[in-house]
């Protein structure tokens, strides 16, 4: 099922990231510790571009001189052909010649940056690198930083560092950068152990062929989910073309994602900047796979007008079924993803607990669950171990959705409790204390692929996961309004046009499982106690919730009374002895 080699990050990559991060010594006191990444990340990108281009530097300069009269678009094509990449640099300077002239480092370095192609200029703009450059110049630190990156230890050329390894380095640097911030719970860093579980779930049972496979991440961050999907697909079939597309709101992480795409040789235009909810840059697109970890616990006040306008468009928009609470927009990302799946598409998306049960029958969150379940698009939900993310320890879940579920999974939803399927880290990274190792991932995949109800995989006393399979109707319920009649002082029922008048003060509601007949429920649960009650059929609402905690609850018998008494007696004796010693 899995080749562990694609999941391992070599220690040399961590060492390379550590060496790069040591550039902080050159900017200590100039920038605050949480600002180091604002210099180190763009400089790493610049140096990676430099080391990729240095081998064809002379050819690019010659092509630039030869074709200078061409129109910009045609000139771009000629220079990219000369560089061997979808970017280039026409400056005469290299890092070697930059450090050879320390007295003119600012002018020469600015000339070097100006020589990059327009797609790289966009990256530098999103990094806001001009601000950091001015600060480095002001404090006479620019030469020291360039010198550090120009050292042999700072070499990032493709002959030594592959595009995949460079992605790992970026990831490690971003992790270090993120550790400096007290980020909100939803703005967390997704580690590779979780990403690899998501990729395996998405690709389970798949054998990619020769047709192009499209992958989309609506909140791509540095695009590591996309690159992991590409790795995994190519591990299954190296010949499969993969097109990765993503959108990101944060300028710095977008810049890294676009850099990574350029280095990998993909289309940088597929990495798009903007707010996915209010500025959808992939309207009308359809994708085979979607993998994403959107923010949760974050409000959507800024996007409110656009989202509500799109909701009003019904099926022509992305948010037709309903809208979640303004305080938490994660279900909007869920709907956005569903709107972009092709007819065979599959999506893995991380959510916290609220989309499982928040919202009463008829509310926006419940209607969104209803929309998904009644269309039979929810395939499985996997509860992850707590403390799996760097900046939050709360319970999180992977929702797996499919437009066209396999025949044996249709009309059913699999719930997997993998909260005990982890190995503790030797060293915590913020709140991340647990890893979903290769062995853990195999247990979860075994559970998913077996598709069994009430099954346990692994050691129930140690590392294990549980699987339960339910019909989709199991999650539905009717919220009924139970009325009782008004009575006069003599106790007689007050009627109007022959029908009893409801007493609003006695009105009550009941949730009736969708798998049960309402009349049968009333006869068993209500009428024996209040025989004059009836259901207001017009007020009945349909609701859906997925109470995972209840399904996997394990009853623990309370401690025996004799045992408690014995323990209390022992404590009392200890206290008496301590007091005796104190006052003797």
Residues in Cβ contact with 437 at an 8 Å cutoff, skipping those fewer than 6 apart: 193, 422, 423
Would you say the C-alpha torsion 557, 561, 567, 572 has a positive or negative sign?
A: positive
What is the average per-residue pLDDT within 175-198? 69
Q: pLDDT band for position 34 (50/70/90)?
A: confident
Which residues are within 8 A (CB) of 56 and not within 5 positions of it... i.e. 6 or more apart?
82, 83, 84
pLDDT band at 179 (very low <50, low <70, confident <90, very high): low
Report pLDDT for 165: 81
pLDDT, average across residues 437-446: 96
> Which of the given ranges, 14-18, 29-33, 577-581, has the highest pLDDT on average?
29-33
State pLDDT tens for residues 213-227. Answer: 999 999 998 898 998
Give CA–CA dist 224/213, Å, rounded.
17
What CA–CA distance (Å, rounded) separates 50 from 83? Answer: 11
d(CA 108, CA 87): 20
Q: Is 497 helix (H, G, I), strand (E, B) or coil?
A: coil
Band the pLDDT of 181: cuts 50, 70, 90.
Answer: low
> What is the reported pLDDT for 188?
45
Q: DSSP state, 363?
A: S
> Would you state the pLDDT for residue 4?
46
> pLDDT per residue over 357-387, tens digit each?
999 999 999 999 999 999 999 999 999 999 8
CA distance 394 to 388: 9
Q: How far apart are CA 85 and CA 510, in angstroms?
A: 64
Kindly indicate the confidence band of residue 8, based on its pLDDT and cuts at 50, 70 and 90. Answer: very low
Rounded to whole angstroms, the Cα distance separating 339 from 319 reads 9
Distance CA 165, CA 503 (A): 71
The per-residue pLDDT for 46 is: 95
Report residue 584's pLDDT band, with 50, 70 and 90 as the boundaries: low
How much is the average pLDDT of 24-47?
89
- Whole-number pLDDT of residue 162: 82
- Average the pLDDT over 248-268 and give the result: 88
Residue that has been written with the tokens 């020589």 in this structure: 115
- In Å, what is the CA distance from 377 to each residue of 399, 405, 453, 540? 11, 7, 19, 25
Rounded Cα distance, 269 and 284, in Å: 16
CB within 8 A of 201, min separation 6: which ones? 348, 380, 382, 398, 400, 445, 448
User: pLDDT tens digits, residue range 77-104?
Assistant: 999 999 999 999 999 999 999 999 999 9
User: Which residue do the tokens 């989709």 mark?
Assistant: 472
CA-only gyration radius of the chain, Å: 30
Helix (H, G, I), strand (E, B) or coil at 559: coil
Per DSSP bridges, beta strands 213-217 and 242-248 are parallel
pLDDT digits (tens, 9 = 90+) for 267-311: 889 999 999 999 999 999 999 999 999 988 889 999 999 999 999
CATH 3.40.50.150 in the chain: give the residue spans. 182-474
CA distances from 193 to 39, 47, 278, 450, 579 (A): 28, 28, 31, 22, 54
Average pLDDT over residues 431-450: 94
- The DSSP result for 7-66, as a single string, is G---HHHHHHHHHHHTTHHHHBTTB-GGGHHHHHHHHHHHHHHHHHHGGGHHHHHHHHHH
Q: How far apart are CA 234 and CA 229, in angstroms?
A: 9
Using H for helix, E for strand and C for coil, what is the string for 24-38? HHHHECCECHHHHHH
Measure the CA–CA gap between 414 and 453, rounded to whole angstroms.
8
Q: pLDDT at position 508, please?
A: 96
The fold of 182-474 is Rossmann fold (3.40.50)
**How many other CB atoms sit within 10 Å of the CB of residue 518?**
16
Task: Give the pLDDT band of residue 22 (cuts 50, 70, 90).
Answer: confident
For residues 526-547, give the mean pLDDT: 96
pLDDT of 159 = 87
Instruction: Give the pLDDT confidence of 455-466 residue by residue, as tens digits.
Output: 999 999 899 999
What pLDDT does residue 262 have? Answer: 86
How large is the average pLDDT for residues 427-437?
84
Other residues' Cβ atoms within 10 Å of the Cβ of residue 165: 17
- How many beta carbons lie within 10 A of that of residue 506, not counting itself? 15
Q: Taking 50 as the threshold, does the pLDDT of residue 472 lie above it?
A: yes
| Residue with more model confidence, 60 or 183 | 60
- 466 in Cβ contact with 552 (< 8 Å): yes
pTM recorded for the entire structure? 0.88
**Sign of torsion, CA 482 485 486 490?**
negative
Query: What average pLDDT score do residues 470-486 get?
Result: 97
Statement: residue 56 has pLDDT above 70:
yes
Report the mean per-residue pLDDT for the chain. 91
């Amino acid at each position: 099922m899995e080749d562990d080699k694609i999941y391992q990050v070599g220690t040399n990559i961590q060492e390379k990231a550590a060496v790069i991060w040591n550039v902080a010594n050159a900017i200590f006191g100039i920038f605050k510790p949480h600002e180091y990444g604002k210099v180190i990340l763009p400089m790493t990108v610049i140096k990676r571009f430099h080391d990729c281009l240095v081998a064809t530097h002379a050819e690019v300069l010659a092509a630039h001189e030869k074709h200078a009269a061409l129109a910009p678009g045609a000139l771009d094509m000629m220079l990219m052909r000369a560089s061997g990449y979808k970017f280039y640099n026409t400056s005469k300077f290299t890092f070697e010649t930059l450090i050879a002239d320390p007295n003119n480092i600012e002018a020469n370095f600015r000339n070097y940056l100006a020589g990059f192609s327009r797609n790289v200029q966009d990256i530098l703009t999103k990094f806001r690198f001009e601000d950091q450059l001015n600060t480095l110049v002001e404090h006479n630190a620019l030469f020291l930083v360039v010198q550090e990156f120009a050292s042999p230890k700072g070499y990032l050329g493709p002959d030594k560092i592959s595009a995949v390894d460079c992605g790992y380095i970026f990831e490690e640097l971003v992790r270090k950068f993120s550790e400096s911030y007290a980020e909100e719970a939803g703005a967390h860093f997704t580690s590779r152990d979780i990403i690899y579980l998501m990729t395996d779930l998405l690709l389970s049972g798949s054998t990619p062929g020769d047709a192009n496979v499209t992958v989309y991440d609506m909140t791509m961050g540095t695009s590591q989910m996309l690159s992991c999907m590409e790795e995994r697909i190519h591990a299954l079939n190296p010949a499969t073309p993969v097109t990765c597309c993503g959108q990101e709101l944060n300028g710095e992480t977008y810049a890294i994602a676009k850099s990574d795409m350029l280095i990998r040789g993909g289309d940088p235009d597929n990495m798009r900047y903007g707010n996915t909810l209010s500025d959808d840059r992939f309207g009308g697109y359809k994708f085979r796979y979607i993998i994403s970890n959107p923010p949760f616990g974050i409000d959507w006040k800024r996007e409110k007008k656009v989202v509500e306008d799109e909701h009003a468009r019904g099926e022509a928009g992305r948010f037709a079924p309903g809208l979640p609470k303004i305080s938490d927009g994660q279900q909007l990302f869920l709907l956005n993803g569903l709107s972009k799946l092709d007819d065979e598409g599959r999506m893995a998306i991380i959510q916290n607990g609220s989309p499982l049960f928040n919202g009463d029958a008829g509310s926006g969150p419940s209607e969104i669950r209803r929309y998904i379940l009644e269309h039979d698009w929810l395939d499985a939900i996997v509860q992850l171990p707590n403390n799996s993310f760097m900046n939050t320890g709360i319970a999180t879940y992977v929702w797996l959705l499919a437009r066209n579920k396999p025949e044996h999974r249709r009309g059913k939803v699999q719930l997997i409790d993998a909260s005990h399927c982890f190995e503790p880290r030797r060293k915590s990274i913020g709140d991340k204390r647990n890893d979903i190792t290769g062995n853990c991932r195999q247990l979860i995949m075994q559970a998913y692929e077996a598709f069994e109800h009430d099954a346990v995989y692994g050691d129930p006393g140690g590392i294990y996961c549980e699987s339960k399979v339910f019909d989709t109707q199991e999650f539905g319920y009717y919220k009924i309004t139970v009325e009782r009649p008004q009575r006069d002082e003599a106790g007689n029922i007050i009627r109007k046009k022959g029908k009893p008048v409801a007493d609003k003060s006695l009105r009550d509601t009941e949730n009736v499982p969708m798998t049960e007949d309402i009349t049968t429920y009333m006869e068993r649960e209500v009428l024996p106690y209040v025989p004059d009650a009836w259901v207001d059929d017009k007020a009945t609402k349909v609701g859906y919730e997925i109470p995972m905690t209840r399904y996997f609850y394990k009853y623990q018998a309370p401690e025996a009374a004799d045992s408690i008494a014995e323990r209390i007696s022992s404590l009392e004796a200890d206290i008496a002895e301590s007091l005796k010693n104190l006052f003797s």
